[in-house]
Structure 1
Amino acid sequence: MCGIWALFGDDTGDISKQYRSAAKISHRGPDSFRIESVNHFGNCCLAFHRLAIVDDLYGMQPMRIKTYPYVWLLYNGEIYNYRKVEKHFGFNYLTECDGESIIHLYMKGGIQYAASMLDGVFAFCLLDTMAKKVYLGRDTFGVRPMFKLSDEEGFMAVCSEAKGLVDIQKHKKSEIVPFPPGYVETFELQPNGNVALVESEKFHSLGTSPKWMDVPESLVSIGQDVEENIRELITDAVKKRLMSDRRIGCLLSGGLDSSVVAALVCKLCKESGINYPVQTFSIGMEGSTDIAAARKVAAHIGSEHHEVTFTPEEGVQAVEEVIYHLESYDITTVRASVGMYLVSRYITKETDSVVIFSGEGADEVAQGYLYFYKAPTPEAGNEESMRLMRDLHMFDVLRADRTTAAHGLELRVPFLDHQLTSFYASLDPILKQPKNKCEKYLIRKAFDNGLLPSEILWRPKEAFSDGVSSSKKSWFEILQDHIETQVTDSQLEESPQKFPFNPPLTKEGYFYREIFEKYYHGNSHWIPYIWLPKWLPDCSDPSARCLAHYRTRC
């Protein structure tokens, strides 16, 4: 996890303003910082906050290598096939940094070719001063974030998080927009540092096999059995993500997704000779069912387990900080982020784990949300699953990135591996539906091999507000009680006039929106809609509690 920031065509010469804007994302890279101008091009400034994961000596950015000194790279992400790329093409890497592969692939085939050959997650800004081009790119799922601010005069600013652009926006009066996942954009670079968009290209679509899968040895050897394929693909997705010079840990809720990932991390770390115990982390209030379930998993897989508890007061107090870091006012995103934000804070303060595995993406890929029981047809369920995957960067992936990056951690999400997701997308829609009254049946069946205790493997999905809740009162109810004292009935009634775009339907939505506007006024378009379950026309709340079959289907 790192933070990238770039400015093109800024003729103010205000170095202190540039520094202050770039510093807004210092949490993403607490290890080191660099800001520098681009040689021979006026009004261009690049900045980088580094979280050192690989190559502590030569991994600083902007990256430049002697082979191609006119190429500058700012990059946030991890490229899992960088060694395979080096071997296949005969590249001669000058560093141990996985991001160097982007430069070599670009020089071989251009920017779209380079992006299409990367197995990993990334957001990059590549500057070629010889060709006088600037290129931006972002991974297919948008696991790594990037925002852009530009105007018609040739000014452009780029940043990992929007907060690094809001002060600039006040002067430029232009829109800050999320960079679209799965795209690369090409800009002409002028001597004065101004840029002009040349083209925007999509390099990969969900459900299709990425181009890099044609690279020899990049495919795992798997059989024809669907469950065997899923087991092997998930295992391989975890294995490739173990690359790190820093300590690895896992978020562990005790649910299926995080438990499978944590169990595989522990197993594969032992097999690879990693000589420290994997740390696992669960969070909840006193009496939380998640904490109880995670404790069973940790004992079974042999992790060094940490339990983090928070009080209702601590949870409510964290909401504003969470919204600031999220850059979102989506109800379910904010609710679910509080626990993840607090446990990430604990990890940074109390342990030395830096690379953190999590189970995000499984619900979207494998139809794990409880409302999929209401899908009218297998095809409708499949279509909804694909839609959720396309929008992940605005919801669960956004939550996972921002809550961990806020505390200088790097998150890894194996369920969004391209080999796994393209295989899952190719399955008959009937196979993906909930089966035998259990969601994500294929994943559960694939790991019905002793990896996890049976009661965990087949544990029904819970709403987040129930899993972290105390035995006395749920997180959902605590939030509602607090917000009832903060928002009046008349305020909610007038919300369509105050917030014409995505007007809040509930007091909770209004409360979050007001905090969001405090920091990011006028940027509500970053979230085009509020996440709600499908096929429930009268539902105005994203909680699984609105489903009549909640707690009755298994």
Structure 2
Amino acid sequence: MCGIWATFGVDGGLSATCIKCFSSIVHRGPDAWRIEQDAREPLAIFGFQRLSIVDGLHGMQPMRLHTYPRTTLICNGEIYNCKRLQEQHQFPYETKCDVEAIIHAYQNFGIAETVKKLDGVFAFCLVDGEKRKVYIARDPYGVRPLFRFHDADNDVLAICSEAKGLVGLKQKASKNSTLGQFPPGHFQVWSMIDNGKVKLDYTEQYFKPGMPPRFLPFVPEEDLQKMDVYEKTAHLLEAACKKRLMAERRIGCLLSGGLDSSLITALVVKLAKEHQLPYKIQTFAIGMGDSPDLAAARTVAEYLGTEHHEVQFDENDVREALDNVIYHLESFDITTIRASLPMYLLSQYIKKNTDTTVVFSGEGADEVAQGYIYFRDAPSTSAGHDESIRLLSDIYLYDGLRADRTTSAFSLELRVPFLDIQFTSHYLSIDPKLRQPQNGVEKHLLRNSFAKSGLLPDSILWRHKEAFSDGVASVKKSLFTTIAEIIAERYKDEEQQYEGVQPTTTESKYYRSVFEKTFSGQHNFTPYYWMPKWVQVTDPSARFIKHYAAT
């Protein structure tokens, strides 16, 4: 996890505004920074905020290689198949940094084939000085963030890991300018026309959720042929964790005590022992008072023998963090903000009190494996499958965004095995009937895949899904009730019309008012409020779905 920033064609070059924009993402990479102006293209500027995970000596960016001195790369990402690409194609690596593979792949195969050959998560900008081309690309599910600013009237392009690094440029731009997230699974090609100015050539989508890998798979297909669907599921999820152990910093796990985080933690602990990592895996749980999640996480940690950290938070912590969470999220979505508060506070604790830098998490499981309670109301198996695809297509706007921003706010690097390409391709290809909730149990197939493994106690493997607000909060009082009380203290409910989706509750109006202070007019950052499908509810919390009380 790092922060990337670049501008092309901004008049005035490396101005005070640019420096301020670049500095706003320092939390993404506190270990080192570099900002430089291209001598041959004075209006092309590259900035990099580094969090050192692999190759602390040679991994600084912008990256240029002796073999290709006119090619410049800035990338926030991890390329898990970097060594396999080197072995396959005899790439003459100059560093131990995994993202070097991008430059070699581009020079040998071009940009369209490069993005398909990468097994990893990434957001990058690559400039070919000889061809005078600029390439922008983002990983298939948008695990790594990327924003793009374009002023068409002035032929200006800028990119950044977060929108806060670009809003200052938009304020000084023409009315015909846009700022928004660069879509996952896409790349763009731009031509440099004069003095760093650029024109868009074309945009191409290279991935849609469920597509099979077009790189050499981490697990060879012949190894999977004799396995049944349950064995294959378990094997591929373990493989997804294994490839993500690539790190020179300490690894830990976010552990809520729910199925998803508990499975990932169990697999990471198993693999850490096999790889003889020189430390115990740390696990981190957070809750208010007598939170059910704290109790469940404690059970998992004791079973696995982890170095467990339990963080208690209260109303004062929520009160202090709420506005900061909205600033870091760059979203006004109700569900995203609620769910981000504990994750933000937990990340803050990890940064201040431990030496863990890489954190594994269970994000993506609900989208891939039909884990939300409302999936029980799917009118057909095909409708359930289509909803999984929709959720995965938009995960970068909601749960994926939450997971990245709350951890990166405190310079942690997130790893999400459930969004592995080989795993998601397999899981989404299974008969949709098997993927549906069975007998009122969501993610039945996933649970069954580990039923005989002994990785987790049955009480955890088959634990019902809590509404998030109930799981993390005290039994006596839900988190969103606490939030509502805090907002009532500080906000006078006023009717105000905004562009885009309209807030209708006091809570949503407050979130929008805080969002507008920094990201005025950027309603496109949150195109719709996340809500469960097929059920009639006015609040996105799962506790309002009819099935919830029966779980």
Q: TM-score, normalised by structure 2?
A: 0.97
Structure 1 residue 541 corresponds to structure 2 residue 545: no
Deviations 1:4-36 (A, max 9, x none): 000100221353322111010000001000000
Q: What SS does the corresponding residue of 2:148 show, helix, strand or coil?
A: strand
Q: Which residue of 2 aligns with 1:67?
A: 67
Q: Which residue of 1 aligns with 2:519?
A: 520
Following superposition, the deviation at residue 485 of structure 1 comes to 3.7
Following superposition, the deviation at residue 379 of structure 1 comes to 1.0
Q: Which residue of 2 aligns with 1:480?
A: 484
Change over 3 Å in CA distance of 1:14–1:57 after alignment to 2:
closer
Q: Which residue of 2 aligns with 1:149?
A: 149
Following superposition, the deviation at residue 316 of structure 1 comes to 2.5
2:382 aligned to 375, 379, 383, which one?
Answer: 379
Following superposition, the deviation at residue 202 of structure 1 comes to 1.0
Determine the C-alpha separation between the residues in 1 that align with 2:39 and 2:173: 25
Q: What SS does the corresponding residue of 1:295 show, helix, strand or coil?
A: helix
Deviations 1:457-511 (A, max 9, x none): 100001111111113322121112222344455x2xx34xx22421012111111
Task: For 2:103, give the aligned amino acid.
Answer: I
Q: What SS does the corresponding residue of 1:430 show, helix, strand or coil?
A: helix
Change over 3 Å in CA distance of 1:344–1:220 after alignment to 2:
farther
Following superposition, the deviation at residue 215 of structure 1 comes to 8.7
Task: For 1:158, give the aligned amino acid.
Answer: I
Determine the C-alpha separation between the residues in 2 that align with 1:218 and 1:85: 18
Deviations 1:98-129 (A, max 9, x none): 10000011011101110010001000000010
Determine the C-alpha separation between the residues in 1 that align with 2:492 and 2:514: 16
Question: 1:96-495 maps to which residues of 2 (within 5 A)?
Answer: 96-152=96-152, 153-173=154-174, 174-213=177-216, 217=220, 221=224, 223-448=226-451, 449-488=453-492, 491=494, 494-495=495-496
Whether the 8 Å contact between 2:326 and 2:515 is mirrored in structure 1 is yes
Deviations 1:221-242 (A, max 9, x none): 4533111111001000000000
Change over 3 Å in CA distance of 1:129–1:463 after alignment to 2:
same
Determine the C-alpha separation between the residues in 1 that align with 2:55 and 2:337: 35
Q: What SS does the corresponding residue of 2:503 show, helix, strand or coil?
A: coil
Task: For 2:142, give the aligned amino acid.
Answer: G
Change over 3 Å in CA distance of 1:220–1:75 after alignment to 2:
farther
Following superposition, the deviation at residue 220 of structure 1 comes to 5.4
Q: TM-score, normalised by structure 1?
A: 0.97
Give unmatched runs, 5+ long, in structure 1: none
Determine the C-alpha separation between the residues in 2 that align with 1:551 and 1:275: 45
Structure 1 residue 9 corresponds to structure 2 residue 9: yes
Q: What SS does the corresponding residue of 2:137 show, helix, strand or coil?
A: strand
Q: Say which is worse superposed, 418-427 or 246-255, in terms of deviation.
A: 418-427
Task: For 1:168, give the aligned amino acid.
Answer: L
Whether the 8 Å contact between 2:543 and 2:549 is mirrored in structure 1 is no
Whether the 8 Å contact between 2:469 and 2:480 is mirrored in structure 1 is yes
Determine the C-alpha separation between the residues in 2 that align with 1:316 and 1:452: 36
Task: For 2:265, give the aligned amino acid.
Answer: A
Determine the C-alpha separation between the residues in 1 that align with 2:56 and 2:358: 15
Determine the C-alpha separation between the residues in 1 that align with 2:319 and 2:118: 41
Change over 3 Å in CA distance of 1:322–1:382 after alignment to 2:
same
Determine the C-alpha separation between the residues in 1 that align with 2:14 and 2:232: 56
Identity %: 51
Whether the 8 Å contact between 2:217 and 2:422 is mirrored in structure 1 is no
Determine the C-alpha separation between the residues in 2 that align with 1:409 and 1:512: 25
Task: For 1:457, give the aligned amino acid.
Answer: L
Task: For 1:533, give the aligned amino acid.
Answer: P
Determine the C-alpha separation between the residues in 1 that align with 2:532 and 2:507: 17
Determine the C-alpha separation between the residues in 1 that align with 2:117 and 2:347: 32
Give unmatched runs, 5+ long, in structure 2: none
Determine the C-alpha separation between the residues in 2 that align with 1:223 and 1:320: 52
Following superposition, the deviation at residue 51 of structure 1 comes to 0.2
Following superposition, the deviation at residue 188 of structure 1 comes to 0.4
Determine the C-alpha separation between the residues in 1 that align with 2:296 and 2:228: 30
Q: Which residue of 1 aligns with 2:548?
A: 550
Q: What SS does the corresponding residue of 2:379 show, helix, strand or coil?
A: coil
Determine the C-alpha separation between the residues in 1 that align with 2:535 and 2:415: 32
Task: For 2:402, give the aligned amino acid.
Answer: R
Q: What SS does the corresponding residue of 1:508 show, helix, strand or coil?
A: helix
Structure 1 residue 509 corresponds to structure 2 residue 503: no
